[in-house]
Structure 1
Amino acid sequence: MSEYILTSKQDRVGIITLNRPEVLNAWHSEMRQQLIAALDTFSNDESLGAIVLTGAGDRAFSAGQDLNETRSFDSDRAISWVAEWEALYDKLRSSPKPIIAALNGVAAGSAFQVALLCDFRIAHGDVRMGQPEINSGIASTTGPWIMREHLGLARTIDLTLSGRLMNADESHALGLINRLVSVDRVLAEALALGEELANKPPVAMRLDRQRFQEITEPGFRDCLEAGVRIQGEAYASGEPARMMELFLKRRTG
């Protein structure tokens, strides 16, 4: 089996690396399943007190969804696709351990959402973040939910409908990036923060994360219900497949 996800440990911090650098760490179904398994393993490892999530290579944390997978979806597959994201996001939200995103490059679409579901984000000055799904014909449902929790409605509308990527300075000013460091210090800073958090009282840490999950649970469940309806309608129309084909042709042309 291909190792789309790499795992390692440094002291009391578990490190999960998204490992498809040839496609900017874009994920497909098997990669998502491996990521869920890695998060589950580390979340239940009593020797660990924190988790760092990063990407392989020096270009991307993750470009988000691999369009080579979704361009062939029909409405039924689009609905089961929503369930795959529910499983991943549930795992991120329910871990008793704090999760830190070490952003080594672009975080786009669903990868932007995953970064926002982490508790902290460490990045360098060339990182770009945003929700460009509309540009490839994908309607956004989980994206607007998590962005509104962080940014409010006006900026969520901006990012969803424009599909633009924010630079690191804008993301930092909005509080989406907690610490901006030099490119060679991203992982080291994330690991140092992980060690600091790992030394906090574990029961209080688990209960604090649990409470954040409880506070945001109604919105999360609403966006998943909307995702089933909206993605089913979108893919039944054929528009996502057409737009993804055009997007991929422009990218490789």
Structure 2
Amino acid sequence: MDVFRNILIETEGRIATITINRESKLNALTAETLQEIRLAVLSIQQDKEVWGMILTGAGEKAFVAGADISEFLGLSMEEGMQLSKDGHEVMDTLYHSPKPIVAVINGFALGGGLELALACHLRVASKEAKMGLPEVSLGIIPGYGGTQRLTELVGRGKALEMILTGDMISSTDALQWGLVNYVEEASEAKGKAISLLNQMFKRSKVAIANAIEVVNAGLDKNQNGYQLEIDSFGKNFASSDFKEGVAAFLEKRKPNF
């Protein structure tokens, strides 16, 4: 696996934890850090021993407190568009990962940091976590997919409230709005993520990857999610996981995927 300067990767059992390791900068996202995250996820996807991932930030203050704004200075319109395209490529890598990724939001998740969490499949927040998209305060809008993914999770009204005011919300509000799946004590948030992944590991990896693909397709205006569901459902019948799952059910035992 590549040697990274801004992130740490720790593998325990079937879970790889990616930690953004810029604690003194509140784990702010530089262009280099974003690309390291992307390369790490792609590398882990090729590791057959790893079935799922956790993404978190170093320290207790921040998951990711935003992008490194100093990198935005002096950019032209074309360079700004390229910056957004590069960010989308990173977020899409997480969003479409066939292996589930759980974000552990252990503090501030702002701007690009919240967009990073939104690109994960599930989100577990600490009680102290604060989330927001403050880009309008800088004269820009979220550019790494946040306008779309936040709306998918919380609806148009709440998404516009967050984006247009630029205000942070508490983990309690985030849970109520559907932005995060669970809120836990800070010391227990990663344990909850591990528990969720271990539940998934009892199921078929093939079926989980298919489910991620089909759910994502249903949110893509350029795809017919219903048709992809039909196709994927049919293909599942040819998999060894399906044969094992049905045999285990009929034999009243746990499947061995």
> Normalized against structure 2, the TM-score is what?
0.81
Counterpart of 2:221 in 1: which secondary structure?
Answer: helix
Query: What is the total number of aligned residue pairs between the two structures?
Result: 220
Whole-angstrom CA distance in 2 between matches of 1:2 and 1:194: 25
Match of 2:248 in 1: none
Among 116, 119, 126, the residue aligned to 1:117: 119
Among 11, 14, 26, the residue aligned to 1:12: 14
For 1:215, give the aligned amino acid.
Answer: G
Give the gaps of 5 or more residues in structure 2: 224-257
For 1:200, give the aligned amino acid.
Answer: R
- The Cα offsets for residues 16-75 of structure 1, whole Å up to 9 and x where unpaired, read as 011111111111111111000001011121111111000001100001211011123222
Cα distance, 1:14 vs structure 2: 0.8
Match of 2:92 in 1: 90
Q: Trace 1:20-169 onto structure 2 (pairs within 5 A).
A: 20-141=22-143, 142-169=145-172
Counterpart of 1:102 in 2: which secondary structure?
Answer: strand
Question: Greater share of helix residues, 1 or 2?
Answer: 1
Give the gaps of 5 or more residues in structure 1: 221-253
Q: Is the contact made by 2:151 and 2:159 (CA closer than 8 Å) also made in structure 1?
A: yes
For 2:136, give the aligned amino acid.
Answer: I
Cα distance, 1:10 vs structure 2: 1.1
Cα distance, 1:76 vs structure 2: 2.2
Among 146, 155, 178, the residue aligned to 1:175: 178
- The Cα offsets for residues 97-139 of structure 1, whole Å up to 9 and x where unpaired, read as 1110111111111211221221211111110111111112222
Shift in CA distance, 139/177, structure 1 to aligned 2, threshold 3 Å: closer
Cα distance, 1:192 vs structure 2: 2.3
Q: Which structure's CA Rg is the greater one?
A: 2
Whole-angstrom CA distance in 2 between matches of 1:89 and 1:217: 15
Whole-angstrom CA distance in 1 between matches of 2:142 and 2:222: 14
Higher RCO (Cα < 8 Å, 6 or more apart): 1
Whole-angstrom CA distance in 1 between matches of 2:63 and 2:137: 20
For 1:30, give the aligned amino acid.
Answer: E
For 2:190, give the aligned amino acid.
Answer: L
| Root-mean-square deviation over aligned CA pairs | 1.7
